[in-house]
Amino acid sequence: MISGPPESRSHQGAKWGKTLINKSYKALKPGGMLVIGEMIPNDTRTGPVFPLLFGLNMVLHTAEGDVFTMSQYKQWLKQAGFAIIKIVEIESPSPLIVASR
């Protein structure tokens, strides 16, 4: 469980996720890559079970926490300026997202 006052946890959520992606893009040299390993539910948020349960935990125990869909990540990455976005299936509840500048 995350402790501390809600304002100290406000870094979790969509706003912080977008900010972190933008900062990562600016920090990378051309050709640099960002790899995101996260619990990602499907776009309708009906599965898989583990990312949905993780999201429920985030909603219950953080001020702004949630899980975000692949469509949301792709949109944020494109808005930040990433030119190439690939999905890498791994043995995990969710795939990796690899974005190249």
What is the residue-wise DSSP string for 31-69? Answer: T-EEEEE-----TTS---HHHHHHHHHHHHHSSS-----
d(CA 59, CA 62): 6
Domains observed in the chain: 6-100 (3.40.50.150)
d(CA 65, CA 67): 7
In tens, the pLDDT along 2-54 reads 344 444 444 578 998 999 999 999 999 999 999 999 999 999 999 999 999 99
d(CA 7, CA 4): 8
Instruction: Return the minimum-mean-pLDDT range out of 3-7, 21-25, 80-84, 90-94.
Output: 3-7
